[in-house]
Amino acid sequence: MADQGAADPGNNNNNKPEASEGTIIKVTVKTPKDKEEIAIAEDASVTQFKEEISRRFKAKQDQLVLIFAGKILKDGDSLSQHGIKDGLTVHLVIKTAHKGGDGGSTSASSSSSTQAGSTSTSSPGTNPSSTAGPTGPAPPPTQTPNILTGFGDLASLAGLGMGSANFMELQQQMQRQLMSNPEMLSQIMENPLVQNMMSNPDLMRQMIMANPQMQQLMERNPEISHMLNNPELMRQTMELARNPAMMQEMMRNQDRALSNLESIPGGYNALRRMYTDIQEPMFSAAREQFGSNPFSALGGSSESGAQPSRTENREPLPNPWGPPNSSNPSESGGGTTGSTSTTGGTNPSVSNPLGINPGSLGNGMFNSPGMQSLLQQISENPQLMQNMLSAPYMRSMMQSLAQNPELASQVLMNNPLFAGNPQLQEQFRAQLPIFLQQMQNPEALSVMTNPRAMQALMQIQQGLQTLQTEAPGLMPSLMSGGIPGIPTGGGLPTENPASSPSSAGTNTAQQQLMQQMLQMFAGGGGGGGATTQTPEVRFQSQLDQLNAMGFINREANLQALIATGGDINAAIERLLGSQPS
C-alpha cells in the first residue's frame, strides 16, 4: 500500500499501477501551470494522493494544497469523501516558501514556452516549433519580420501614406508573438543561413518580389515597390530584424502611436480598413510561399474562393445611403461608418453619387432605431467618415473591389441584410461595378464626409418618411416593406445600359420626382458635374493623352483626372506626386 508508484521510468507518465484494494481511478491534477493525470486507488486517502503528487510534481508534500469543488482536501480525508471520481479534476497549488514569489510550482517550466508559442494569436510570424538549425522553416519566420519591419521603417518615413498604422498592426501581432518567445527569435537569428540571407539585400528583395501576390500588392501600392527598391532601406530593415531589441523598441513606439490612433473616433475603423487592405495580402503573400495563409481559412474558403489575399474583409463600403452593407466591428460605439441603408439598391451615377434609391428611402432599415442612431452618429461625426474615406488605401480597396466584382458581390451577399432578399441581391450585383466606381468618385466621397450634406440627406429621409405616412398614395412602392423598388434611382441617365435590373413597377411620376430631386442634389453637391457620363467617358481624350505620354496606369490616371476635374497638367502632377520618384 505504500507502494503506490511502482514507477515505470521511461514510460508514459500515466498508468502507474497502484496496488491497493479497490479500483484505480484516474484523476487529473491541475496546477496553474500544468496538469497531469494521476492514477490512484479509489479509496485512497488524501495523504496517499499527495504522496503520489509530490513525486510527480517534484514538490514536497507540505507544499501541496489540493482543492476540489471549492474545498481544501485535508490529509485525513479520503478521496471518496470528497466525491473524487474517475476523470474528475482536482486543483493543486504548490506553495512557495514566501508569498507572491517565484511560483514554486515546478513541473514543466518548459510548458510555459510551449504555451507561449501556441497561445499567441494566429499571426504567421514564427512557427513555434522551429528552432535554430532547421534551414527549412527558419527562413520563413524571418521573412515575415523582415517584410514587416521593412514597412515599419516606412512608417517612420513621413508621408508615405500607407506605411503608417497599417503595418503596425501587423507588427503588433508579430511583436506579441516574438516577445512571448524571445529565445525563439534569437535562435532564428543566430542561424547562419538566415544571417547570410539577410545580409544579401538583393536576395531578399527577389524573394519578396517573386511572390505574385506581393507583386499585385506592389502594383496597387507603389510605395511598396519603392521601399523594396531602396537598398538603403532594405539594409536598415535587415539590421533591424537582426537586432530584436531594436525591433522591439521600434514596435513599441509604433504600438503607442497605433493605440492613439485607435482611440480617435474614426480611427478604429480606419485601422480596420488599412488592415484589410494591406495586411491581408501581405500575410498571404508572405505565407503563401511557405505555408498556408492562416487567414485564408477564415475568409477565403467561406467567401470568395478567389485569391486568398482578398477575403471578405473587403466587405465594408462606407456608403450609408447606398445599398446595404455592414461595416463595423460591433463592439462598443458601433456608430462608425455607414452600414446600413436602403433596402432597395439603386444605380449610382455621377449625378446620383450616393446611389440613393428614391423608391426606398425612408424604409426598412432606416426605421429601426438602431440604424437611426447610427446615422446620427455618422452625421455628427464627420471626422469618422473622413478618416475612413480619405485614406489612400480606401481608394485602393475600392479599386480592388471594382476590379473584382465577383468578389465584392459575394462579400456583400453574405451580409445578413441581403440574406433574405434575392431580388435585392440581383439588383445589387448588377449595379456593383457602377457603384464601386462611384465610391472612387471623389465627389461622392466629399459628400459623405460633409456633415451638412449628411444631415441634409437625413432630413430628406425623414421627410420621405413623413410623406410616406401622410401621403401613402404618393409612394406606393414604399408600402411593400421596401423592396427592390427602383433600381434606377435618380439621374440614371447614361450609365449602364446593361444594368437595368427589374424595376418593380413603381410609380413613374414619383420616380421622376425623385430623379429631379436627386439631380438637383447632385448638381449642387457634385460641384458642377453637370455631365452625366462616367468619368471614363468624360476623360477619354485625356486618358488617351496620358497614355501616350507614358502613364500607363489607367486606374491612377483616371483617379487623377477625376480629382483634378479633367485638367491634364494637374493630373500629371498628381500622378508624379503620388509616385515618389
Partner 1 sequence: MDQTGSFPVKLYIYDLSRGMARQLSPVMLGKQLDGIWHTAIVVHGKEYFFVGEGINWCSPGGTPLGEPLSIVDLGYTEVPAELFTEYLTSLTESTYSRDKYNLFEHNCNTFSNEVAQFLTGKKIPSYITDLPSEVLSTPFGQALRPLLDSIVINPGGNNITGQR
Query: Which residues, in sequence order, are CB contacts of 402 under 8 Å at separation 6+?
Result: 408, 433, 436, 437, 439, 440
Answer for which of 26, 55, 56, 95 binds partner 1 (CB under 8 A) is: 95
Window 403 to 462, contacts with partner 1 (CB under 8 A): 414-417, 419
Nearer to partner 1, 65 or 570 (CB): 65
Contact 62, 68 (CB under 8 A): no
Nearer to partner 1, 12 or 332 (CB): 332
Total chain residues near partner 1 (CB under 8 A): 75
Window 2 to 61, contacts with partner 1 (CB under 8 A): 31-34
Shortest distance (Å) from residue 508 CB to partner 1? 32
Window 258 to 287, contacts with partner 1 (CB under 8 A): 271-272, 275-276, 279-280, 283
Nearer to partner 1, 94 or 350 (CB): 94
Contact 414, 331 (CB under 8 A): no
Answer for which of 312, 443, 483, 557 binds partner 1 (CB under 8 A) is: 312
Which burial class, exposed, middle or buried, applies to 263 when counting CB atoms under 10 A from its CB (0-12, 13-18, 19+)? exposed
Shortest distance (Å) from residue 90 CB to partner 1? 9
Contact 314, 401 (CB under 8 A): yes
Strand partners, 92: 66
In the stretch 102-131, what mask flags binding to partner 1 with x, by CB under 8 A?
A: -x-x-----xx--xx--xxxxx--------
CA atoms of 328 and 316, how far apart (whole Å)? 8
Shortest distance (Å) from residue 370 CB to partner 1? 4
Nearer to partner 1, 18 or 277 (CB): 277
CA atoms of 56 and 58, how far apart (whole Å)? 6
SS3 529: coil
Window 346 to 385, contacts with partner 1 (CB under 8 A): 365, 368-371, 374
Query: Which residues, in sequence order, are CB contacts of 428 under 8 Å at separation 6+?
Result: 323, 345, 409, 412, 418, 435
Window 72 to 91, contacts with partner 1 (CB under 8 A): 72, 74, 89, 91
Answer for which of 1, 19, 69, 479 binds partner 1 (CB under 8 A) is: 69
Is 288 an interacting residue with respect to partner 1 (CB under 8 A)? no
Is 330 an interacting residue with respect to partner 1 (CB under 8 A)? yes
Vertex 47, ends 43 and 52: CA angle to 5°? Answer: 85
Window 165 to 204, contacts with partner 1 (CB under 8 A): 169, 172-173, 176, 179-180
Answer for which of 302, 459, 512, 540 binds partner 1 (CB under 8 A) is: 302
Q: How far is CA 20 from CA 41, 43, 59, 77, in A?
A: 6, 9, 24, 17
Shortest distance (Å) from residue 400 CB to partner 1? 15
Strand order in the sheet with 24-30: 35-41, 24-30, 89-94, 64-68, 71-72
